[in-house]
Amino acid sequence: MQRNVSVIISHYHSLECLQKVLWGYCTQTYRNFELIIVVPRQSEIGVVTLIDEVKNLVFYPIHLIVSELELPMKEVNAVVNTDYLVFTNAQAIPRQDFVAKHLQYREQGYWLQGSADSIPRNVFNEIQKESIFTGVAFENRWLKKRGGRLSSINDPLYNWGWKAALWAAFTFSKPVFKINNASFWKSDLRYLESESSNELQQHLGRVKKLKSRNLSYRTTVLTF
C-alpha cells in the first residue's frame, strides 16, 4: 500500500512512553501513514527490540533513524516515502483523530500547528492500553479524576465535531512551532538541514510565502 503521510517521532524519552505512543497510533481513524522514529544511539537496542515485538501487531510500517540530533531533517527527508510530514515527540500520545485532522486541513502554502495538553507525570503513568484504545484517556472528566487539574481553558481541546470547528474559527493567535503536533509539506522543508526545533522555527520565519494555520481544538495529544 502506498502511504501518503509520514509521522516523525523525535525527542525520545523512554520505552514505556514510546509503547503508549505506538498504542495511540494503533487507534487512528486514518490508517494510511508510516511512522519514523528518531532515537539516540544509546537507546537503539531497546527501541529495536520494542519495534520487533509490535511490528506484526500494528498496521503501519515503522522506520528507525539513529541520530544524536533531536531533529535530523537530512536523514528524515531521505527516509520518508510521502509528500506530507507530521511532527510529534516520543511522549505525546495521539488522540484517534490526530493524523486524520492534519490530513483534512492540509493545504499547499501552509504549515499546521495543533494543540498538546500537558499533564502531570503521575497522570501520564496511569494511562494504559485500554484507556487509549477506548479514548477515555482524552476525556476531561477522566483526567481530572486522576489529578490532571485541567482549567476551563483546556476544555475545548476535548471537543469534537461542530464544537471543535466553532472554537477553531475563533482562534486568532498566530501559531508558534511546537514539535509535539505540527505538519508540513515535504517540498517546503526539502532544503532544510535542521538540528533542533528552534532551527525549524527560524526556517519558517524565513520562508515568507509559507503561511501558518492553527489546529488548536481540532486534534490533541497528551504529553508531560
Average pLDDT over all residues of the chain: 82
User: Pairing state of beta strands 34-39 and 110-113?
Assistant: unpaired
> Residue 199 pLDDT > 90, yes or no?
no
> Residue 165 pLDDT > 90, yes or no?
no
pLDDT digits (tens, 9 = 90+) for 145-154: 888 754 444 4
Cα angle for residues 139, 152, 96 (degrees, 5° grid) = 25
190 falls in which pLDDT band (50, 70, 90)? Answer: low
User: Where does the chain show beta strands of DSSP type E?
Assistant: 6-10, 34-39, 62-66, 84-89, 93-94, 110-113, 115-118, 182-185, 211-214, 220-223
